[in-house]
Chains A and B, each alone.
Chain A
């Protein structure tokens, strides 16, 4: 039987100090009962003798130091899981908000999870076709990968994420597929965009959503992604489904973390974010993956808005160090009218090499990918030179590269948010574009592929 304490000593920001407690454990969950009977949640951050420092998950408005009661629950934060998670919408703390009934749990899971033993991991190497050429062709996503979208305010990252969620499929398999969506601190409109998009395409049946909106308590955001990942782990590793987890927006999550760190008066790291931001983000991102002997997988696509489009800001920076690549959106490309405005050169999928080629996509994929990168990069250089020195200064070859880079952006990258291209289509389009270049410029492609796929231009 949990004892009740009326010994709240102080409340400051999201933190609360409770004195004279006994038998309270680190990281334990607790409830606060307000004088009006309302119950809120908190967890133990530090236990020092008989003093417990707790972190509120909800707002502190109305907490009365003398009359509020605290009950320690003897367990950590948990999520009820079962197959019925699919099709449901929850708030950031895992309570249903879709008007449906409470879940009948198959099991209760600690939302912090446990680290996957690296020796038990299975390497992600199965190609996922997202139908987006800039990803499939150049920054290929594979099952079990964590590939964030680095974006900025005002860029259409949500459209791209929804497109991926809608179109993603693994070729040649009939395994079950599910989407878990975690919204942290985004606006109602953004979240509504996702919910209606899922609803309109029928994806909602296979989706679980955890929604913490901008006006919900910031501290709930700490739990939201963990709830989502716990649900994903259950679907992936208990029910052996292929789960795509979308998380947006990591920036707001990190800010909530900073808020708590500041309230605890911890020594801040860069830009006021706590020194453990890396470890904390890793404890989320690393829950993606595959496990040996299990058919399921968790593929993670976190979205973050880079403050001031600065890639060296701690949030994108630390994310980039943990995730297996990044897809970067660019305002400049958006202004040029590219949809999606994926900046392919700084984008990267670290796992692409193992997910492409014979039997996965097509034998020529790696070569053409490298050639497209190189050619686009050279074309952009040429265009830059053109701006400074004028078109006359370009050599014949550079002019062709400049033309290539324009067409590449227009046709390859800018496919719109509703076009769903198969990998064959993407690769063939790549060859169409490469055929703009003279044959002898294709140095990164093996001759046999050039013979097979290069399209000879008619003279004139």
Chain B
């Protein structure tokens, strides 16, 4: 047992501790610092001196105190009990710490990530004698109503099952035995461990082509993200980054959602903790919390653990992906993570790159986002697993030339550009339709044409074009006033305004408006655009502009977003008929 490397502290500088006598330790080993047992990680070795980033407040540490290596890198526990949990950056269960330590986080606090006492009902799906490879599903634990937790053979094991029994087990109990090719027997349990800085293996990556439906109109319709894709939401403060992240965590079509609050506000995590158990998943009607895992490293918690929280989160997400689920991970905010990186880099006295950020910022970010994707999972059944990564970026002053924003934009495929001008006008979500983009839109257009309506890509293109034309016309209006516009241009402006206010504007705090199905999005867009197409024709036909603007049906169109999902098809048909009636009356008599 005690071949663990032991050293002594020689230097303490904030979260960085340097210890001597650590020659036997390995890079990225986890260490316990001083008799307070503060958790740290070795990030540099110089001879027998190890530089350690400590995940807890280091006040009161001094030279001479002992540092003991655990002999393994920073790892997370993976098994039943993760869902609905809230963990800190190094996977300590925060709800359990409240019970043992009280309302504040004390140093050296410890609790197992997975409850060691809780028993789970395991149902074996394989018989003894079966030959398995890493990733094969041994059986199921129904962890919550929403999630069957597939217990898998650990990635690096294969061989023959000697023993496997259904029953009630704790996570550390042996559920069976596996004999590998060399005849060595391995105990199987409900829990696995995996080092956070190494991506979990899969067979191959598959190019994503299906949309991740989020129920947010501007996202699904105009700037969709694919299942297994990557997206970034940069924006200045107050532009609604966190609300968008919360909306996606709530409504995105995923089996499991991992939400990382990385260096952000404590109250936001509390909000999620309060709200998610009360919100129902639109598909299953079960509380959303039953598919959610929270990683909370708020801005006042130690900065080094903030660096780790991103990795902890994505490793947990990969684990559920490996089961063949669709997993979404939201990281709010990657800028805070980058700042943690910068702070450690500064303490290590590394040569800084741009804005003091370390030169490896770009590669670390790429590393994180590349762990997303649609993959063929390990195991004999060739199941597909999906991991979609969405990161918030908080550029200083909203300036996108910031190194974190720039490095992120080089990697991600979807960019939702938040605009403070829209936020001031209380247009939410404040995603700017002129500057945002999605590199998945062509593929997803095809999917939408096949699955929603063949007219999808036409509607979408026309709507985007209309918005583009609006911005050009507004320039003109600003210079020479409304009166100078032709009726055709006025119609465009009016149609675009209606598109903005009645379609793009979406109230996340309204019970109905907060989520819009693809079907409803299609109906809304179709009706709004139909008015535009038909009104253009009518105008050419000689109908006066103001009559078109004042058509009674338009007030009804503005209220479409408040129509409940189950009534939308009928309502859309009614309004379509009403519009046709009003238009033909105008076309006949309005000249």
Note all chain A residues with C-beta closer than 8 A to B263: 278-279, 282
Bits for A157-197, please: 1 = Cβ < 8 Å to B, else 0.
00000000000000000000000000000000000000000
Cross-interface CB contact of A119 among B237, B273, B426, B482, cutoff 8 Å: B273
Given contacts A46-B13, A119-B97, contact A317 B237 (CB under 8 A): yes
B50: min CB distance to chain A, Å: 15
B60 and A393: CB pair below 8 A?
Answer: no
Given contacts A26-B62, A317-B237, A377-B425, contact A118 B273 (CB under 8 A): yes
- How many angstroms from the CA of A269 to the CA of B335 in the assembled complex? 14
Q: Does A263 contact B (CB under 8 A)?
A: no
Q: Does A115 contact B (CB under 8 A)?
A: yes
Q: Does A348 contact B (CB under 8 A)?
A: yes
A275 and B273: CB pair below 8 A?
Answer: no
Cross-interface CB contact of B103 among A45, A292, A314, A373, cutoff 8 Å: A292
Interface residues of A (CB under 8 A from B): 23-28, 45-50, 76, 112-124, 144-145, 237, 266-270, 275-276, 278-279, 282-283, 285-287, 289, 291-292, 294, 311-314, 317-318, 320-322, 324-326, 345-346, 348, 350-351, 353, 366, 370, 373-374, 377, 385, 388-389, 393, 395, 443
- How many angstroms from the CA of A324 to the CA of B298 in the assembled complex? 14
Sample 29 A-B pairs with CB under 8 A, ordered by A number: A23-B62, A26-B13, A28-B59, A47-B13, A76-B59, A76-B60, A112-B59, A114-B105, A114-B106, A114-B107, A115-B302, A116-B300, A117-B104, A121-B269, A121-B270, A124-B267, A267-B356, A275-B342, A276-B303, A278-B336, A279-B303, A279-B343, A282-B300, A286-B265, A346-B238, A346-B424, A374-B426, A377-B426, A388-B478
A325 and B238: CB pair below 8 A?
Answer: yes
Residue on A nearest B558 in the bound complex, by CB: A443
Excluding A26-B14, A76-B60, A348-B238, 16 further A-B contacts by CB distance (< 8 Å) are A25-B12, A26-B59, A47-B12, A48-B11, A115-B105, A118-B296, A120-B104, A237-B103, A270-B355, A275-B339, A275-B346, A275-B356, A282-B300, A289-B266, A321-B394, A346-B424
Central interface residue in B62, B261, B336, B343, by most chain A CB within 10 Å: B62
A26 and B12: CB pair below 8 A?
Answer: yes
B509: min CB distance to chain A, Å: 5
A46 and B481: CB pair below 8 A?
Answer: no
- How many angstroms from the CA of A257 to the CA of B356 in the assembled complex? 17
B51: min CB distance to chain A, Å: 13
Q: Does B461 contact A (CB under 8 A)?
A: no
Note all chain A residues with C-beta closer than 8 A to B356: 267-269, 275
Cross-interface CB contact of B483 among A117, A268, A275, A393, cutoff 8 Å: A393
Cross-interface CB contact of A267 among B270, B352, B558, cutoff 8 Å: B352
Note all chain B residues with C-beta closer than 8 A to A370: 426
Q: Does B577 contact A (CB under 8 A)?
A: no
Q: Does B64 contact A (CB under 8 A)?
A: yes
A123 and B300: CB pair below 8 A?
Answer: no
Q: Does B86 contact A (CB under 8 A)?
A: yes
Given contacts A47-B62, A121-B267, contact A393 B299 (CB under 8 A): no
Q: Does B58 contact A (CB under 8 A)?
A: yes
- Which one of B138-146, B187-195, B221-229, B396-404 contacts A? B396-404
- How many angstroms from the CA of A282 to the CA of B340 in the assembled complex? 13
Residue on B nearest A51 in the bound complex, by CB: B11
A118 and B270: CB pair below 8 A?
Answer: yes
B398 and A321: CB pair below 8 A?
Answer: no
- How many angstroms from the CA of A266 to the CA of B95 in the assembled complex? 37
User: At the interface, is chain B mostly helix, strand, loop or mixed?
Assistant: mixed
A423: min CB distance to chain B, Å: 20
A46: min CB distance to chain B, Å: 4
Q: Does B271 contact A (CB under 8 A)?
A: yes
Given contacts A267-B356, A283-B300, A289-B266, contact A28 B60 (CB under 8 A): yes
Note all chain A residues with C-beta closer than 8 A to B14: 26, 46
Residue on B nearest A278 in the bound complex, by CB: B339
Interface residues of B (CB under 8 A from A): 10-14, 57-64, 86, 94-95, 97-98, 101-107, 236-238, 261, 263, 265-267, 269-271, 273-274, 296, 298-303, 336, 339-340, 342-343, 346, 352, 355-356, 394, 396-399, 420, 423-426, 478, 480-483, 509, 558
A115 and B300: CB pair below 8 A?
Answer: yes
Note all chain B residues with C-beta closer than 8 A to A118: 86, 94, 261, 266, 269-270, 273, 296, 298
Note all chain A residues with C-beta closer than 8 A to B104: 113-117, 120
Note all chain A residues with C-beta closer than 8 A to B423: 348
B52: min CB distance to chain A, Å: 13
B300 and A286: CB pair below 8 A?
Answer: yes
B546: min CB distance to chain A, Å: 11
B97 and A117: CB pair below 8 A?
Answer: yes
B303: min CB distance to chain A, Å: 5
Closest 9 CB pairs of A and B: A312-B397, A282-B299, A27-B59, A286-B300, A320-B237, A120-B103, A25-B62, A26-B12, A118-B269
A386: min CB distance to chain B, Å: 10
A279 and B299: CB pair below 8 A?
Answer: yes
B259: min CB distance to chain A, Å: 12
Cross-interface CB contact of A269 among B270, B303, B355, cutoff 8 Å: B355
Note all chain A residues with C-beta closer than 8 A to B265: 286, 322, 324
A271: min CB distance to chain B, Å: 10
Note all chain B residues with C-beta closer than 8 A to A48: 10-11, 13, 63
Note all chain B residues with C-beta closer than 8 A to A267: 346, 352, 356
Residue on A nearest B271 in the bound complex, by CB: A123
B482: min CB distance to chain A, Å: 7
B105 and A117: CB pair below 8 A?
Answer: yes
B266 and A47: CB pair below 8 A?
Answer: no
- How many angstroms from the CA of A172 to the CA of B560 in the assembled complex? 39
Note all chain B residues with C-beta closer than 8 A to A283: 299-300
A322 and B397: CB pair below 8 A?
Answer: no
Given contacts A24-B62, A120-B98, A317-B396, contact A278 B261 (CB under 8 A): no
B61 and A25: CB pair below 8 A?
Answer: yes
Note all chain A residues with C-beta closer than 8 A to B343: 275-276, 279
Residue on A nearest B339 in the bound complex, by CB: A278
Note all chain B residues with C-beta closer than 8 A to A294: 103
A23 and B64: CB pair below 8 A?
Answer: yes
Note all chain B residues with C-beta closer than 8 A to A124: 267
A289 and B267: CB pair below 8 A?
Answer: yes
- How many angstroms from the CA of A313 to the CA of B483 in the assembled complex? 41
B60 and A121: CB pair below 8 A?
Answer: no
